[in-house]
Amino acid sequence: MDEPATTDELVDVWQRANAARGQPATPERVARVRAKLMDAAACVVWLREAGDVVSMALAEPWCEDDGAGVQRPGWGHVSMVFVRPELWGRGVGGRTMAELHRQAADRRCQDLTLWTRRSNDRALALYASAGWARSGRTSTLPDGSAILQLGRSINGATARQG
């Protein structure tokens, strides 16, 4: 993360990864991602290889009631983790998560949560290898996809259920 990344570079990684998963971006989603990336409260990390941004992740303050309630100090919610598809399976995601964990700890974050699709085996393997565990909470996206909540304490222990 030595060289700053532009919002355009980060959005490009996000768009490439989503397109490879068959989820092309709508203008509304691109606008939401840009807004999250520019939020001063967000913890945004990225990795470069050969000068190009190859991954990005974002954690934001965790709020009760699945984001509708008050912020809980010391907690963060990871809402984005993306790697350029041509680098999937090469350890880039693990290095990106390690950097996110480090920077979240620097911000005094103790616990992190995230949601991912139950069908996203690649993401589930990445999160398990990075010390994340299922919280037991599940939900369904508007398109009917089942999602799972995972948690992780920054000190390496499994996060309390949030």
Alpha helices in the chain (DSSP H): 7-20, 27-38, 92-106, 121-129
pLDDT at 24: 86
141 backbone φψ class: left, alpha, beta (φ>0; ψ -120 to 50): beta
Report pLDDT digits (tens) over 80-138: 999 999 999 999 999 999 999 999 999 999 999 999 999 999 999 999 999 999 999 99
Rounded Cα gap, residues 81 and 114, in angstroms = 10
Rounded Cα gap, residues 39 and 61, in angstroms = 11
pLDDT at 161: 44
Q: For residue 130, what are its two tokens?
A: 């990075």
Q: State the burial class of residue 132 (Cβ atoms within 10 Å of its Cβ: 0-12, 13-18, 19+).
A: buried
Regarding pTM above 0.95, the answer is no
- Percentage of the chain beyond pLDDT 70 is 94
Nearest to 25 by CA among 86, 82, 66: 82
Task: Provide φ and ψ at 39, rounded to 5°.
Answer: -70, 125
pLDDT at 61 over 90: no
Length of the chain: 162
Which residue would you say has higher pLDDT here, 150 or 66?
A: 150
The answer to whether 90 touches 126, Cβ cutoff 8 Å, is no
pLDDT at 156: 53
pLDDT at 157: 47
